[in-house]
Amino acid sequence: MATDHFPVEAGHIILFARSIGDSNPIYHDAGAAAETEPGHVIPPPTFVQASAQFTDGYNLRPVIGQPWFGSGKEPTGIQRESTGGGGGGTGFHAEQHYEYHAPVKPGDVLKAVDKPGKSWSREGRRGGSLQFSESITEYYNQDGALVVTARSVGVQTSRVVE
Amino acid sequence: MALSKSNLNVGDQHTEQVVENLTRTQIIQYAGASGDYNPLHTDEVFTTKVAGYPTVFAHGMLSMGMTGKMLTNYVGDGRLTKYGVRFVAQVWPGDSLTATATIDAIREEDGVQLVDLSVSTVNQDGAEVVKGSATARIDA
Question: Which pLDDT tens digit goes with each residue over A31-58?
Answer: 999 999 999 999 999 999 999 999 998 9
Of all helices (H) and strands (E), which one includes residue A97? strand A92-100
Query: Taking CB atoms and an 8 Å limit, are A98 and B83 in contact across chains?
Result: yes
Give the per-residue pLDDT at A127.
58
Query: Taking CB atoms and an 8 Å limit, are B69 and A160 in contact across chains?
Result: no
Burial of residue A26, with CB atoms counted within 10 A of its CB: 0-12 exposed, 13-18 middle, 19 or more buried: buried
Question: Nearest-CA neighbor of B122 among B104, B95, B102, B103?
Answer: B95
Count of C-beta atoms within a 10 Å radius of residue A138: 18
Task: Average the pLDDT over A115-134 and give the result.
Answer: 85
- Give the C-alpha distances (Å, rounded to integers) separating A91 from A88, A139, A161: 6, 24, 10
Question: Nearest-CA neighbor of A60 among A32, A45, A40, A81?
Answer: A81
Query: Taking CB atoms and an 8 Å limit, are A50 and B35 in contact across chains?
Result: yes
- Give the C-alpha distances (Å, rounded to integers) separating B119 from A31, A98, B26, B104: 31, 14, 23, 10
CB nearest to A37's CB, from B2, B45, B73: B2
Q: Are B94 and B86 in contact (CB under 8 A)?
A: no
pLDDT at B39 over 50: yes
To the nearest whole angstrom, how far is the Cα of B96 from the nearest Cα of chain A?
A: 13
What sign does the dihedral B30-B35-B41-B44 (CA atoms) show? positive
Of all helices (H) and strands (E), which one includes residue A129? strand A129-140
Q: Establish whether this prediction's ipTM goes over 0.95.
A: yes
Nearest 5°: the CA angle A101, A105, A106 is: 150
CB-based contacts of A106: which residues, under 8 Å, 6+ apart? A8, A9, A10, A13, A40, A41
User: What is the distance between the alpha carbons of residues A147 and A141, in angstroms, rounded to a whole number?
Assistant: 7
Q: Are A157 and A93 in contact (CB under 8 A)?
A: no
Per the model's pLDDT, the better-predicted residue between A9 and A57 turns out to be A9
Burial of residue A118, with CB atoms counted within 10 A of its CB: 0-12 exposed, 13-18 middle, 19 or more buried: exposed
User: What is the distance between the alpha carbons of residues A83 and B87, in angstroms, rounded to a whole number?
Assistant: 19
CB nearest to A52's CB, from B36, B45, B81: B36
User: What is the distance between the alpha carbons of residues A32 and A45, in angstroms, rounded to a whole number?
Assistant: 19
pLDDT at B23 over 80: yes
Helix (H, G, I), strand (E, B) or coil at A138: strand
User: What is the distance between the alpha carbons of residues A12 and A85, in angstroms, rounded to a whole number?
Assistant: 24
Query: Taking CB atoms and an 8 Å limit, are B34 and A160 in contact across chains?
Result: no
Q: Are A92 and A157 in contact (CB under 8 A)?
A: yes
Full-model pTM = 0.94
Task: Average the pLDDT over B118-133 and give the result.
Answer: 98
Quick check: B88 contacting A, CB < 8 Å?
Answer: no
Query: Phi and psi at residue B87, in whole multiples of 5°?
Result: -90, 110
Question: Nearest-CA neighbor of B117 among B98, B104, B128, B129?
Answer: B104
**Region of poorest pLDDT, from A113-117, A120-124, B9-13, B99-103:** A120-124
